[in-house]
Structure 1
């Protein structure tokens, strides 16, 4: 995702050092008033979001929950990338059918010919100019919620309620550094001491979330919010990737009752699990991270079928979609995850 992750294919660890994520992104925003020069317009923009990437996964979830499919098209690169860019190798001829590009890099260079940082997903591209608008993953989903309201579906949930925004923002900042990026700090640690420090910090944060989720169905109460959209992509990748590949292996997530049942709950909630492609997720991490998996062997396990078993979260007060919201419709036919990449088929059973 970051410059460090994209600058050299397979090189992510600096011996003796901590992992430092470059948090400098193109901070233009697409807004109702177009104050940055990018007004919200149905059909004008294309979201580029690889299913493999957790940061991109949250944009796919938000787009589904809010019903933005007709207003905002999506392009999905394949699960791997080289030192130059994510590529559209899943599309016919290896070319994005809307942008006409083989590489996401081309959209960045169309706007910034000497763009110096990593070519990251998610990114939103202006279709008429075929140039990137923003790759600020922290802001993109907030703007989907607050700026694209004219194009929300009937019954779309309010993922960023005004009364809870300060709490959501504070929790999101904490999760970013301690959990979402915390797993990378563990996996890309450059020394034993750095690894042990980051390992303990990550698990202290997960223990806090385990306790928190013993009090309510979702992170901030009876309804899903932006905070849940941000946490889920990390949790769903934990046992298949972070536990083993990143050595975050104090215990599997499946052994933590509240976090595991919360993950199962969201996985079976429309808009969450139907965006997850386990085959692409595992291939991305185990193939691209050559310095920590030089053989590029992709494991068959773990068995993910328990994700489809019942959960206990309905013991809490529940208003999943808010007071007037409803569940989203099924995904568009062209965006359905390959059934062979779902829990019953990816564990080598």
Structure 2
């Protein structure tokens, strides 16, 4: 008997086609049927269309539906689940799903950089590799994986590194988890234990948490116009190892004193935040003493999502710190 895989779809470029000039890609419901035919034969695929939207339009209620359908499919005997998704926010969706995915079977997210009508469309190969990963023995217990351009990535490490290349995704700082082969994954490293799961279901909307970016001559003066009582939380993409200007510190201290959680991520793509290297005003030591939390290896976009999920479940300050500590660099 062929293994069964549930194929959930939220749309994205993989389900888009272009006009005759090769421009203006838009969602195309027929693209899904044509793509499905390219993956048939290796396994028994069960398509479950959930939406056909750009990834900038994906909301928490879409991801809640993904979790419900994926859990039901695995509990019903599916070997694994594949989710097709637009690439712009694919890493964020994978990160959120990883916080909630509680089955041994893999949940594999994939997409495409080129529309289905392009002569060099990468969707068929990515879908084939995602299906192979969903049934791979080595993928069991690894949680949510992102498969793209022949490689599998851990959800907590993957990032979109290019806005154009078909090799759009990379894992920071470790590199991809595995090469996708026909019969199994060829692991390139031994995965670390998965971070703790967030209990419960996803809400319709997550608490609003803005991200502000530190930089040259940036004192986060926008905070003067954002009353603390209207903020649920704040993420700062700090320079270097997670630093802000000295002039920004009174504004951040005001928020922290009012009980608003502040998480500081590192703006550079690798290296993460520190806790002890620098102790000048606005450094990581100064921020920690003021009550901020360092995001470790999480980039600002993922730090925002983790803080939003923790706020949605009303996690205590201690629980929030512990959740971010799992990503310490």
Instruction: Give the structure-1-normalised TM-score.
Output: 0.31
The answer to which structure, 1 or 2, has the higher relative contact order (CA under 8 A, 6+ apart) is 1
Q: Highest Rg: 1 or 2?
A: 2
Instruction: Give the structure-2-normalised TM-score.
Output: 0.32
Q: Larger helix proportion, structure 1 or 2?
A: 1
